[in-house]
Structure 1
Amino acid sequence: MRFEDSKYFHEFKHVKVEFSFGNIYFFDKFILSEINEGVHFDWEKIEEVIAFAMDHYGPSFKIAYISNRVNSYSLDPHSWSRFQDELDHIVASAIVYYSYINFMNASIEKLFSPSSMKRCETLEEAMEWVQNLREFQRINQN
């Protein structure tokens, strides 16, 4: 289910940015992506999202990331570790999969992710999970 078709679209305050490769939604505690069909989501595209996120949140933000895999696209799984090594902004990630192949791809990506990553069957599951992360409770206590 696309985010805009979900009940959450009107429930959560967000900023939608339409990149050439997909739509990215910026919330208070997390970012949700819906990458376009057939795109190779490479480091150059990730840098575009990072640049907007830094402008939006400031240079030292901590957020969760939801990849809502409504379309089929490719991603280098090493991008997860590179992102964490260079920036360390993502406290946890959720991947919403809608097919067995997406589940298998998410399982491979999970192996490369240095932070907590959850594979979710629904957008609702992912959104509830990121909002209740212990990592945000620790950040808010500091």
Structure 2
Amino acid sequence: MNKENAIKEYNLEVGKVTFYDNYLIIEVAEGVSFDYQKAKELSRLTNLHFEGRPFGYISHRINSYSIEATDYTKIKEVFPNLEAFAVVVFNRVQESSVRIENMFFEDGIMTFDDLITAEAWIREQLS
């Protein structure tokens, strides 16, 4: 994660969110239940930073938390200008979770083993 290019970082109840020019990296806090309501709260910040421009979203899953997978069916409603979605996983359980999440997200979620590769992929998708 290249903090030098970061535009703004927020430490929220849901976790740490770092905004870059055209993507964000979220590290959801340990034990959080990330659902539609929390995504809507995050969308206020994406609207503020990206102002309707296409953006990428990287979920850096360094902590253990739960996700309501069925809420992915509403992701375009919450983030209408989301162009690319990546997840950095650290174990097989997380990989399995992303496979389930992908069943509910029509645009597909790319999985990576490290943040640098995920950031490169996001930048490529948005160029």
TM-score normalised according to structure 1 size: 0.82
Is 2:116 the counterpart of 1:124? Answer: yes
1:31 equivalent in alignment to 2:3: no
AA aligned opposite 2:3: F
Partner of 1:3: none
Match of residue 113 from structure 1: 105
Structure 1 outlier segments of 4+, above 4 Å: none
Distance of 2:72 and 2:41 partners within structure 1 = 15
Give 1:36-75 correspondences, 5 Å limit: 36-58=29-51, 60-75=52-67
SS of aligned partner of 2:103: helix
Q: Distance in 1 between matches of 2:3 and 2:45?
A: 20
Give the whole-Å Cα distance in 2 for the aligned partners of 1:121 and 1:57: 26
Partners in 2 of 1:79 and 1:118 — Cα distance? 18
- Would you say the 8 A contact 1:69–1:96 is kept in 2? yes
* Cα distance between partner residues in 2 of 1:26 and 1:114: 24
- Give the C-alpha shift of residue 102 in structure 1: 0.5
Contact 1:91 1:116 in 2 (8 A): no
Q: What's the CA shift string for 1:3-27, capped at 9, x where partnerless?
A: xxx4x123x2321011112011111
Q: Which has the higher contact order (CA 8 A, sep 6+)?
A: 2
Q: What is the CA distance between 1:42 and its match in structure 2?
A: 1.3
SS, match of residue 113 in structure 1: coil
Q: Confirm whether residue 96 of structure 1 aligns to residue 88 of structure 2.
A: yes
Q: Which amino acid aligns with 1:125?
A: T
Number of matched pairs: 127
SS class of match (1:64): strand
Distance 1:65 1:71 in 2: 17
Please state whether the residue corresponding to 1:24 is helix, strand or coil: strand
> What runs of 5+ residues in structure 2 fail to find an aligned partner?
none
Deviation at 1:87, TM superposition (A): 4.2
Q: Is the 8 A contact 1:84 1:114 kept in 2?
A: no
